[in-house]
Structure 1
Amino acid sequence: MKAHTHQSSLGYFKWAFIVTAVGLALGAWLGWQTTGTIGGMATVFFICTVLAVLEISLSFDNAIVNANKLKDMTPVWQHRFLTWGIIIAVFGMRIVFPLLIVVIAAKIGPIEAIVLAARQPEEYARIMHEAHLPIAAFGGTFLMMVGLTYFFDHEKDVHWIAFLERRMARYATIKGVEIAFVLILVLVFSSFLEGEAADSFVYSAIYGLLTFLAVEIVGGLLDASQETMSAAAKGGLGAFIYLEVLDASFSFDGVIGAFALTQNLFIIAIGLGIGAMYVRSMTIMLVEKGTLAEYRYLEHGAFYAILILSVIMYCQTLVHIPEVITGLGGAGLIGISLWSSIRYNRREKAEHADARALENV
């Protein structure tokens, strides 16, 4: 993977730029086809741009977490994730997933769902919005477990918000502490909901928790079996499955939020697909440039952003929270963690310089 280290930062985004140009051209053509006016064409072009920006802002943390997992994967599996994994992420999550929701919720066939998306976008969007509560409970629970598992780790020795993270690392030896925390939150939030909504929330959250545990078990078993074959084969299929489910949980928010801007499934697919390509480029850049090792608190910022996103997803079952807040919150936290890392690096350099000056005296 280190072969491309000479590549400039912009070079990593070559494919993302190509997909952006093609996607926006497609969006403009779609606008012209559906409305037949320049105004309609410009509107669709603008919506595609906003969706792409929304997806990128929501996905900074996704790229950092991907890079964190990818750096331990074998080059073969890294390549598989960055090719097949991204195809699954773009097409599977941005196109197939919204269709599947409608297929399950409306109890209709996949072809009927596509026809519904094309001919009755309002009805399609209504079904998607009705499915929001269980999706938010499922995705929120999965992401919360991802975030908490990072902090509740007794081997973790680099702390950004030290007073909080040291305590979490200390309590990590208590078995199932993060599961207990999540279940308490599920009970608290479900108490604000009534009847069917409360049941749906609890069941979906438990499915989210079970999915996380199942992915961890499967990942552990697959990676352990590969390890027995060869120590170098660690981080293969298990890590791949984990990253795919993680990407799905991240994109829940973007896909549902996109329906607030447009009810056209094809415009949503273009906008979010463009965004997903930037996530891929960012992931490759972070892995190849060793950015995570260079900026020691960047991962912390990403995992805090995940925890906040999971709580926001829970809150969205009670009140509407604009996606702009979600995106800016995550990007802001990552920005602060990057600034803290730069400050730390400067301080270290200054201390090394002082130590050298003393040695030379």
Structure 2
Amino acid sequence: MPVVLKTFGWSFAVTALGLVAAVLYGGWTAFGVVAILSVLEISLSFDNAVVNAGILKKMNAFWQKIFLTIGILIAVFGMRLVFPVVIVAVSANLGLIEAVDLALNDKDKYQQLVTDAHPSIAAFGGMFLLMIFLDFVFEDREIKWLGWLERPLAKLGKVDMLSVCIALVILLISSMTFAKNAHQHGGGHADKAETVLLSGVAGLITYLIVGGLSGFFEGRLEAEEEREHEAEENARRSGKKVSAVAIGGKAAFFMFLYLEVLDASFSFDGVIGAFAITNDIVLMALGLGIGAMYVRSLTVYLVRQGTLDEYVYLEHGAHYAIGALSIILLITIQYEIHELITGFIGVALIGWSFWSSVRRNRALAAEEQALGEKAEPHSGAGV
């Protein structure tokens, strides 16, 4: 218990403050929206914490502190607070200051602008989320949650650029169906096919850029690790001392850059997904801010406890939740879907994957116990 309080103490405090602020801001309805956003962000960010922890444990104490201080500032204030305002400003053709002013002081006009811009936001976010989901399910993984579905998808994934092709087909269908009768403020409908196509392609390009940067930094990181091993080997052979600080620092610097790109990409799906829950910038900032704190706490906890592989299906559940969100966003171009439905689907998928992980762990433990009981009489007979 002390370990949990020490690791999650700040997150619990921020959660309490955020929920109280939500009640004061918009009553119990706002409380519910912030709670759903927080749970959704935490659920979507669990795999983020797992990836972060896997890399963070290789770094020395100094660089771990850099990531958990400067890194969390970038994640919370940059991606989860500033970025939603930027999305609204760009999609509604507003200045950044004007967008903030409208969000705080003229909520009716702000709501109208966001509603009118929703088809472009939904297409952009839906495509970005869809690419994350497709790239996950088309990758051949050693551990499979829904084997009946993931095995054939992994075989299909061997086809080059399949996820991009499928995403573009879905975008084209959405622009020819949902976008033709996009919901407008005041209950009317308009043809937003061109807007949806352009925004969807922009979302796809953004994903490819983020993925390309992540791959670049990952490649640099692997190259630095190889150089480090070679330098250590040469130093042992020649009897010379090598500056471990310089080599470690270089590798750690690329680790930090790689982590920031990864964290940005993971937090981006949470920010985009939040638009499926609410258009209120204050509630969005509160919910996503709480979620961002739990990403930090989960990362620290996983590193300290070494339990990265304990619940192996949670990453699967998070990605299926991302896939569900992507489809919901595209549907909301024409139809309104209640945020409780959206939140429930994500939480249900995460809960299902967690329970599947628990059952798997119990089955493996029972199997090991049975093997141990069989081995005992045999070993006694040989004495």
Q: Report TM bin, short chain.
A: 0.7 to 0.9
Match of 1:149 in 2: 135
Instruction: Map Cα deviations across residues 8-42 of structure 1 (whole Å, 9 max, x no partner).
Output: 334332112222344455556xxxxxxxxxxxx5x
Match of 1:305 among 307, 321, 326: 321
Q: Which runs of 5+ in 2 are unaligned?
A: 181-189, 227-247, 378-383
Residues 47, 315 of structure 2: 8 Å contact kept: yes
Instruction: State how 1:65-84 maps to structure 2 within 5 Å.
Output: 65-74=47-56, 75=59, 79-84=65-70
Q: Does 1:353 align with 2:360?
A: no
Contact 2:86 2:96 in 1 (8 A): yes
Q: How does 1:327-342 map to 2 (within 5 A)?
A: 327-342=343-358
Mark the structure with the bigger radius of gyration.
2
> Which of 89, 106, 126 matches 1:103?
89
Choose from 130, 134, 138 the match for 2:124.
138
Residue 242 of structure 1 is matched in structure 2 by 262
Structure 2 residue matching 1:173: 3-state secondary structure: coil
Aligned to 1:90: 76
Work out the CA distance in 1 between the residues paired with 2:149 and 2:7: 36
CA contact (8 A) 1:51 1:272 kept: no
C-alpha distance after superposition, 1:86-143 (max 9, x if no partner):
3334333444234324433454433333333333111012112222211111112111
Query: How many residues matched?
Result: 338
Q: Is the 8 A contact 2:126 2:327 kept in 1?
A: yes
Distance 1:345 1:115, change over 3 A: closer
Q: Is 2:70 the partner of 1:51? A: no
Q: 1:63 to 1:270 in 2, by over 3 A?
A: closer
2:271 aligned residue (248, 251, 268): 251
Cα distance change on mapping 1:17 and 1:296 into 2, 3 Å:
closer
**1:186 and 2:186 correspond:** no
Contact 1:19 1:274 in 2 (8 A): yes
**Residues 219-261 of structure 1 deviation map (CA, whole Å, 9 limit, x = unaligned):** 22222223323347364413421321331222223246333xx
**Which residue of structure 2 aligns with residue 120 of structure 1?**
106
TM-score (norm. length: structure 2):
0.78
- For 1:106 and 1:142, how far apart are their aligned partners in 2? 19
Structure 1 pair 323–12 and aligned structure 2 pair: CA distance change class (3 A):
farther
TM-superposed deviation, 1:344: 1.4
**Equivalent residue number for residue 35 of structure 1:** none
Q: Percent identity between the aligned chains? A: 36
Letter in 2 for 1:187: L
Counterpart-to-counterpart distance in 2, 1:117 and 1:197:
24
83-92 vs 344-353, greater mean Cα deviation: 83-92
Question: RMSD of aligned C-alpha atoms?
Answer: 2.7
Aligned match of 1:177? 162
Residue in structure 2 matched with residue 163 of structure 1 by the alignment:
148
TM-score when scaled to structure 1? 0.83
Mapped to 1, the partners of 2:130 and 2:332 lie a distance apart of: 15
Q: Is the 8 A contact 2:124 2:203 kept in 1?
A: yes
Moved over 6 A (4+): none
Distance 1:337 1:280, change over 3 A: same
Counterpart among 6, 12, 16 of residue 7 in structure 2: 12
Q: Give the partner amino acid of 1:169.
A: A
Deviations 1:243-289 (A, max 9, x none): 21331222223246333xxx5x4455345433433344344434543
